[in-house]
């Protein structure tokens, strides 16, 4: 079953009184691009996390957000005393200059940026990615995959419906094609006959020339290729693999054959059918951009 490239999933896992929270968001993209945002204490696991995500989500722009909540032991708080003294001096100067009462409290200084930071513990304590983080990540990826699969089912149904419309239109083109050739040949024969009324051209030679010229508007080869591309479309759609790029390529090939058909068949009815075909193809191509 095909999958959409759009999805969201959230996973959580507790650890020593704290909690890992992982969010994964995926949107359409031509290739597979993974971006991970995580705490400094987990930076050494960024590549491993990207690898795990890429194994599950082949295509799309994927953003992974990892948070460590509460008291998970991933680092130790450190006080920046010179910075704290600077804030104390600055706040005291403001108080005196404005004639304000009260003391400059610790809570005011401590909440200033970078006064207290959490530095990573010794790397020996985090040589391997925390298993609880893996649990949260896998849970988030599973939920993303479920959403992508659910949306993929809707896209699959839409593709099947539009594929039938394409097949019906191609069948109409096929039914009209022999008549177009016959009508063109007749018009051509009449026109050449008018031009050569005073000449001495053998009837057999005239018939051969008319047949050769009329063959230029025959779209039998294009119809055969269109039917072949439709079969490939069906096989690809049901392959169970990521097929977005392959389907996009097949649609380009189908569009090329449709354009050739329209240019060869100088016929109003065929032109109308070609317009309908191109409109359906455009709708399918828009949807194909959404699948993995």
The SS3 of residue 24 is strand
Q: Are residues 197 and 132 in the same domain?
A: no
Q: Do 69 and 200 share a domain, yes or no?
A: no
Extract the tokens encoding 275: 């317009």
- Considering the domain architecture, whether residues 102 and 87 belong to the same structural domain is answered as yes
Helix, strand or coil for residue 76? strand
**Same domain, residue pair 191 and 244:** yes
Which tops the pLDDT comparison, 59 or 41?
Answer: 59
Q: Which of 213, 244, 233, 239 is nearest to 170 (CA)?
A: 233
Per-residue tokens: 72: 């998970």
Is residue 12 located within the same domain as residue 83? Answer: no
Within a domain: residue 200? yes
Span 43-62, average pLDDT: 93
Give domain status of residue 259, yes or no. Answer: yes
Q: How far apart are CA 83 and CA 222, in angstroms?
A: 76
Cα 73 from Cα 39, distance rounded (Å): 12
What is each CA distance from 119 to 25, 38, 80, in whole angstroms? 28, 14, 12
Is residue 135 a part of any domain in this protein? yes
Nearest to 187 by CA among 217, 222, 144, 223: 217
pLDDT tens digits for range 63-118: 999 998 764 455 667 888 999 999 999 999 998 898 888 888 888 898 898 888 76
CATH code, domain with 142: 3.30.230
Nearest to 162 by CA among 68, 251, 260, 65: 251
226 belongs to a structural domain: yes
CA angle 239, 241, 245 (to 5 degrees): 100
- Are 251 and 288 a contacting pair, CB within 8 Å? yes
> What pLDDT score was predicted for residue 180?
80
43 with 157, same domain: the answer is no
What is the tens place of the pLDDT at every residue in 217-244? Answer: 778 889 999 999 999 999 998 888 888 8
What is residue 120's predicted lDDT score, i.e. its pLDDT?
52
Claim to verify: residue 127 and residue 107 sit in the same structural domain = no
pLDDT reported for residue 220: 85
How do residues 244-263 score in pLDDT, each as one tens digit? 889 999 999 999 999 998 88
In a domain, 2, yes or no: no
pLDDT tens figures, 149-187? 999 999 999 999 999 999 999 999 999 888 887 777 777
- Within 13 Å, how many C-alpha atoms sit on residue 29's CB side? 16
Mean pLDDT (the chain) is 85
Mark whether 132 and 30 lie in a shared domain. Answer: yes
Structure tokens at 194: 């008018």
In-domain check, residue 1: no
Do 143 and 11 sit in the same domain of this protein?
Answer: yes
Confidence (pTM): 0.67
Q: How far apart are CA 281 and CA 258, in angstroms?
A: 10
> What pLDDT sits at residue 45?
93
Q: Residue 88 is part of which domain span? A: 76-119
Q: What is the pLDDT of residue 95?
A: 87
The confidence score (pLDDT) of residue 6 equals 93
What pLDDT does residue 72 have? 47
Number of domains in the chain: 3
State the Cα–Cα distance between residues 242 and 180, nearest whole angstrom: 41
Give 69-121 as a DSSP string: EET-SSEEEEE-HHHHHHHHHHHHHHHHHHT--S---HHHHHTSTTTEEEEE-
Residue 4 is classified by DSSP as B
pLDDT at 122: 42
Question: Is there a single domain that holds both residue 201 and residue 179?
Answer: yes
For 31, 113, 122, 150, the CA distances from 159, given in Å and listed in that order, are 22, 53, 54, 15
Q: Say yes or no: 261 and 184 in one domain.
A: yes
232 within some domain: yes
234 shares its domain with 213: yes
254 neighbors 229 (Cβ within 8 angstroms): yes
Position 249 in a domain: yes
| Helix (H) and strand (E) counts in the chain | 8, 6
Looking at per-residue pLDDT, the higher value among 120 and 21 belongs to: 21
* Per-residue model confidence (pLDDT) at position 201: 60
């Amino acid at each position: 079953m095909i999958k959409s490239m759009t999805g969201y999933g959230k996973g959580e896992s507790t650890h020593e009184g704290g909690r890992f929270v992982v969010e994964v968001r995926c949107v359409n993209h031509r290739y597979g691009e993974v971006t991970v945002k995580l705490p400094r204490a987990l930076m050494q696991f960024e590549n491993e996390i990207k690898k795990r995500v890429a194994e599950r989500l082949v295509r799309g722009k994927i953003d992974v957000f990892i948070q460590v909540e509460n008291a998970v032991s991933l680092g130790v708080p450190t006080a920046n005393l010179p910075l704290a003294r600077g804030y104390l001096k600055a706040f005291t100067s403001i108080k005196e200059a404005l004639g304000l009462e009260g003391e400059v409290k610790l809570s005011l200084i401590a909440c200033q940026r970078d006064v207290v930071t959490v530095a990573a513990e010794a790397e020996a304590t985090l040589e391997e990615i925390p298993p609880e983080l893996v649990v949260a990540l896998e849970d988030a990826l599973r939920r993303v995959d479920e959403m992508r699969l659910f949306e993929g089912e809707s896209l699959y149904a839409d593709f099947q419906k539009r594929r039938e419309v394409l097949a019906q239109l191609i069948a109409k083109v096929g039914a009209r094609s022999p008549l177009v050739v016959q009508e063109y040949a007749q018009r051509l024969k009449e026109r050449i006959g008018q031009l050569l009324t005073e000449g001495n051209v053998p009837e057999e030679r005239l018939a051969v020339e008319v047949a050769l010229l009329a063959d230029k508007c025959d779209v039998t080869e294009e119809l055969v290729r269109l039917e072949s591309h439709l079969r490939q479309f069906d096989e690809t759609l049901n392959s169970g693999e990521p097929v977005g790029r392959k389907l996009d390529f097949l649609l380009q090939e189908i569009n090329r054959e449709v354009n050739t058909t329209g240019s060869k068949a100088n016929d109003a009815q065929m032109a109308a059918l070609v317009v309908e075909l191109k409109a359906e193809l455009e709708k399918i191509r828009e949807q194909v951009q959404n699948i993995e």
